Amino acid sequence: MMIASEPLAAASAAQPLTVTSEDLLGLSQALNIPPGSGAEDSLIALVSRLDSLEYFQYFFSCFLGNYTGKWEAHNPNPATVIAKMGPVWRSFHGDFSDLPLRFTPGSIRLFPHCLVTWAYYSFAEMQALMPVHGDHFMWYPESREHRDAFTYAFFLLMCLRDEDTDEDVLEMIQELYEGALDYLRHLSAIN
């Protein structure tokens, strides 16, 4: 499991979006999270926390703004997208302490870098919720491929939830999200 440092200190006074179990149904099912469970509550709490901290607006809006024209060429095979995260993880040699310095808002240019950064910060926020939700985060995948599949599906879900996502690409992102969920379901079934 990666070790994240402090959660991103970009808290905002804005009202967070309301997150319901229906909003996360596909992701919950792909992770085998039972409806109405503490595990589902922990996933809702994580999305709510990320919404309230405005991660997309603060950290990923610049990247996504530059990526808008590239969605059409985005590889639809989630296994290929996830495999490209491997070299990025390995480049840290197990020490992720300098990730916040290497991948800063506005400096991310490649999609695998974006996903690794998303994994790092979303995990940091999950750790911040551990004192409250503890064992209910047991749904978090243990293998690297499974975690990266979750990261990819989770990132696409947040793109779909982001009100600043370009209308022209929402349909493409929705298709990518459905493919990512199918792949995550497959990995959840074998892990």
Lowest mean pLDDT among 53-57, 146-150, 172-176, 185-189: 53-57
Interval 19-40 mean pLDDT: 93
Residue type, 172: M
- C-alpha 24/C-alpha 173 separation (Å) is 16
pLDDT at 168: 83
**Percent of the chain at pLDDT above 90?**
59
Segment 6-15, tens digit of pLDDT? 444 443 434 4
Q: Is the pLDDT of residue 3 over 70?
A: no
Rounded to two decimals, what is the model's pTM? 0.89
CB 33 within 8 A of CB 139: yes
Q: Which of these, 91, 77, 96, 99, lies nearest to 149 by C-alpha position?
A: 77
Neighbours of 165 (CB within 10 A): 18
CA dihedral 53, 165, 66, 112 (to 10 degrees): 70
Report the chain's mean pLDDT, rounded to a whole number: 87
Q: Tell me what pLDDT residue 17 has.
A: 58
Write down the pLDDT at residue 171. Answer: 92
Which pLDDT band, with edges at 50, 70 and 90, does 61 fall under? confident
Instruction: Specify the pLDDT at position 189.
Output: 94
Q: What are the backbone angles phi and psi of residue 102, rounded to the nearest 5°?
A: -75, -40
pLDDT at residue 113, rounded to an integer: 92
- In order of 64, 104, 118, 121, 142, the CA distances from 60 in angstroms are 6, 10, 9, 11, 25
Q: Which two tokens stand for residue 119?
A: 């994994």
- And the tokens for 104? 């800063």
pLDDT value at residue 106: 80
